Chains A and B, each alone.
Chain A
């Protein structure tokens, strides 16, 4: 199928060369600009169709997998201001973003610090290696012990989970900053704090961002797990409670909301990344 489409594209382009004054052809041409979205929509439509098809033919048991239209209706009803999902979104989003923000600040600061001092890195290496590879689930009881079963422990768990990718990518990004840029700043009279904030950080940002995006997804994974542990409100507990009450469409609606939050955060982060790394256009293959 892909072959057919590229063939068509080639034909359209060839026709354009011959007949630049054509009327209907430029509109196809202008559509080609949005090919990424068009193909994406096609893929999405195909996925929903499969979902619906599997349901209506009974290949998958509708009791376990609700049909897409039912899930969508439950979702819409749920996220209306008086719906039952709406009040669950904000506690989760709040915890997730708070934990993520803490991880962002500590991860970048700590990463710049550890990445800048080789000795410090050597001293800390074994400890860091131990903790970064430790399962977050194993640490849950520890967090409960320290922070109780309230909000703090959940935020701490999210912060812990998203700290590591940010910290690790920052450490290596800082080590990758060209020495000559730091030397240039020093000869201009800059002291350490200025160099960290105005040379090391901007030079490292493009390589920190993959870690930040990974951290955002870790944050919400950890959040749901933390909410399963015990919470009175939040999407994690909503999904689990729906399943226990056997309100399966609600369960899927909750999962869908969580997934959409993930997509939205990723879009926001990609936008921010493009803004702060715009200067790299033309230097790298971005």
Chain B
């Protein structure tokens, strides 16, 4: 396991990876009453390397900084130390090759499903007819072709999240990052969407590189090629675990011995962190 971690960080330049975070550090400074300025170290010595087309789940105790890392990749947040490379080039600000899906959907409530999905294309100046075609195709892919003219709040939570995924996929990003996208959904919908996500990921021509933030061990195992487990704050990667379950996966994967073994392993690592936190 430790060899795996070092193995992942061996490339000094990180050039070979789709996404590479080297010794990343992030400190929030805030003005606190009485004590002048206070600083919270959220990430420290964070190393993660992801290959092209890989599905990586980022798992960690709550408040460990996993969403902060995701926001840094999304370009919504800056970092203080280390390097972040996308295709070997340093990332500063929002990269147009990254698509983001938020837990709270973040759809534009005044736009129809169709227009929401077209938004990224519109920003990129794609002509109206072309973006209509692309959006329609992506909406068919996520199974929402019958709801194109609906406003988002007329849809269920699971459908809204499918719209959000469609919106992020429409402009064909290289990397898709998802921040606990199914956490707010009920158990049945969650499992259905996990299957859907894998189906969509496997149908698109060239597999997208996915970073999936979650706090659910089961979700991480079912979806990912590798699971990166974080330490408590200040967060860094504690271990990376391979998930050797065959693809395409379906619900039977959840009943295999390998699944159970990984589950115990990951749970033990997480347990350690939670106890350290106490």
Chain A complexes with chain B = yes
Distance (whole angstroms) from the CB of B98 to the closest CB of chain A: 7
CA separation between A184 and B181, bound complex, in Å? 14
User: B96 within 8 Å of A by Cβ?
Assistant: yes
User: B124 within 8 Å of A by Cβ?
Assistant: yes
- Looking at A12-20, A158-166, A185-193, A213-221, the stretch in contact with chain B turns out to be A185-193
Question: Are B94 and A186 in contact, CB atoms less than 8 angstroms apart?
Answer: yes
- Looking at B43-51, B102-110, B218-226, B231-239, the stretch in contact with chain A turns out to be B102-110
Question: Are A180 and B123 in contact, CB atoms less than 8 angstroms apart?
Answer: no
Question: Are A189 and B106 in contact, CB atoms less than 8 angstroms apart?
Answer: no
Spell out B's residues near A (CB within 8 Å).
Answer: 74-76, 94, 96, 98-100, 102, 104, 106-111, 119-120, 123-124, 151, 153-154, 167-168, 171
Chain A residues 130-144 with CB under 8 Å of chain B are: none
CA separation between A203 and B107, bound complex, in Å? 12
Instruction: List 20 additional A-B contacts (Cβ < 8 Å) besides A202-B110, A283-B109.
Output: A180-B102, A180-B104, A181-B108, A184-B100, A184-B107, A185-B119, A185-B123, A186-B94, A187-B74, A187-B75, A187-B98, A187-B168, A188-B119, A188-B120, A188-B123, A188-B171, A194-B123, A199-B108, A279-B109, A282-B151
Contact mask for chain A residues 150-190; partner B; CB cutoff 8 A; 1 contact, 0 none: 00000000000000000000000000000011011111111
Contact mask for chain A residues 271-283; partner B; CB cutoff 8 A; 1 contact, 0 none: 0000000011011
CB-defined contacts of B107 to chain A, threshold 8 Å: 184
CA separation between A189 and B151, bound complex, in Å? 22
Question: Are A180 and B106 in contact, CB atoms less than 8 angstroms apart?
Answer: yes
Q: Dominant SS at the A interface?
A: helix
Known contacts A183-B76, A194-B123; decide if A189 and B100 are in contact (CB<8 Å). no
Partner of B167, one of A181, A183, A188, A203: A188
CB-defined contacts of B109 to chain A, threshold 8 Å: 203, 279-280, 283
Give the interface size bracket for A toward B: 10 to 19
Question: Are B124 and A189 in contact, CB atoms less than 8 angstroms apart?
Answer: yes
CA separation between A199 and B109, bound complex, in Å? 10
Question: Are B94 and A187 in contact, CB atoms less than 8 angstroms apart?
Answer: yes
4 closest A-B pairs by beta carbon, nearest first, are A184-B106, A187-B100, A279-B110, A188-B120
Residue from A181, A188, A282 with most neighbouring chain B CB atoms (10 Å): A188
CA separation between A186 and B108, bound complex, in Å? 13
Which residue of B is nearest A188, CB measured?
Answer: B120
CB-defined contacts of A279 to chain B, threshold 8 Å: 109-111, 151
Partner of A203, one of B100, B110, B120: B110
CB-defined contacts of B102 to chain A, threshold 8 Å: 180, 183-184
Distance (whole angstroms) from the CB of A184 to the closest CB of chain B: 4
CA separation between A190 and B118, bound complex, in Å? 13
Question: Are A187 and B124 in contact, CB atoms less than 8 angstroms apart?
Answer: no
Partner of A189, one of B76, B108, B154, B171: B171
Q: List 8 A-B contacts (CB under 8 A).
A: A183-B102, A186-B94, A188-B120, A189-B96, A189-B171, A190-B123, A279-B109, A282-B153
Distance (whole angstroms) from the CB of A190 to the closest CB of chain B: 5
CA separation between A199 and B120, bound complex, in Å? 13
Known contacts A188-B167, A189-B96, A189-B171; decide if A183 and B123 are in contact (CB<8 Å). no
Which residue of B is nearest A178, CB measured?
Answer: B106
Question: Are B153 and A189 in contact, CB atoms less than 8 angstroms apart?
Answer: no
CB-defined contacts of A188 to chain B, threshold 8 Å: 119-120, 123, 167, 171
Distance (whole angstroms) from the CB of A206 to the closest CB of chain B: 9
Residue from A186, A194, A203 with most neighbouring chain B CB atoms (10 Å): A186
Contact mask for chain A residues 35-73; partner B; CB cutoff 8 A; 1 contact, 0 none: 000000000000000000000000000000000000000
CA separation between A186 and B94, bound complex, in Å? 7
Distance (whole angstroms) from the CB of A174 to the closest CB of chain B: 15
Residue from B74, B104, B111, B123 with most neighbouring chain A CB atoms (10 Å): B123
Which residue of A is nearest B96, CB measured?
Answer: A189
Which residue of B is nearest A282, CB measured?
Answer: B153
CB-defined contacts of B119 to chain A, threshold 8 Å: 185, 188
Question: Are A189 and B110 in contact, CB atoms less than 8 angstroms apart?
Answer: no
Which residue of A is nearest B73, CB measured?
Answer: A187
CA separation between A183 and B73, bound complex, in Å? 13
Known contacts A180-B102, A282-B154, A283-B153; decide if A186 and B76 are in contact (CB<8 Å). yes
Which residue of B is nearest A206, CB measured?
Answer: B110
CB-defined contacts of A280 to chain B, threshold 8 Å: 109
CB-defined contacts of B124 to chain A, threshold 8 Å: 189
